[in-house]
Structure 1
Amino acid sequence: MNTAAVAKELGVSTKTIQRWVKQLELPMERNELGHYHFREDDLDTLKSVKEQLHHGVLLQDIKAETAPVPTMETSEPPALASDAEGRVAELENRLNLMEQKMNLKADAVVSYQLLQHRREMEELNRKIQKLEQTIDILFAQLPDAQQEPVLVFDNQKLQKRRGLLRSIFSL
């Protein structure tokens, strides 16, 4: 059990559990990150501490009886070593499977996003084409369209500019 689970079980905060362990110098196991890992015996000890505090005993006067923390030699008999290796192999297989599933999911998400972007770009292209058609219609309807415009552009330059604008806004 972790500190949060023990705290919930006892109805106290995680800081209270940590304070009891430190002040009473209880020999608790720690994981690779330095977090406490409590066994059932440890939970019974902490329940005893809580009960003594409830009856008015000061924290420094509490006598906590603890079971010895198992070491690597005593925690697992040799017969279970091969079982542990089998569990490690099984966990590695499950981890690899989960990694493959995660990669497939990531690929699916990226594919969906690409399709969505493509749809959005096609919609923008359709709007640009409609705008170009509207501009052409408006130019044709101008009364001065028959007359020479104030700014005279070479027809070839005008076509280049339209082509440039179309190339910028279309893919």
Structure 2
Amino acid sequence: MELKTHEVAKELGMAPRTIRKWVQKYKIPCSKNDYGHYVYDQKAISLLETLKANSEVAGTLDDYETPLQSTEPSTINPPFEPKEQKMDLLYDRINRVERLLDQKADEVVSYQLLQQRKEIEELTKRIGELEEYIHTLQTPNVKKYEPPLIFDQPIKNKRRGMFRSIFGL
């Protein structure tokens, strides 16, 4: 039974473009039909399934050595590896995930620091404004008095002065 690219992609739950890239990159043996489309037999499908199982996420195969990669373009390594190699691959993946987590944590901390710095600057500005307002409230409003005019003085009772002058008090 031979399947076309879109059928294999649907069966594996992947994008057809990824299937075509893997066929070219890892030299998976498959034939082409009269229209130039890839046609996959059971062996090619099983190799693609192995590739998918060995990759954490589509697109990460560049970072890791997979069992199907080989130094010679015409040969394909068997899909089985010794346990030590599998453990090394697993340790490499764990280390990569830890590095990514550390990087993400650093980015989050940097973002939080920037946000806190911005908040502190806003609070500092607001405190300065409040200090100025308090200062204006505490300083007394001093009115400058102009010299009194003659008309502003109270009128003295002239009779009283007259009685004093008469009686000599």
The higher relative CO (CA closer than 8 Å, separation ≥ 6) is in: 1
Answer 1 or 2: which has greater helix percent: 1
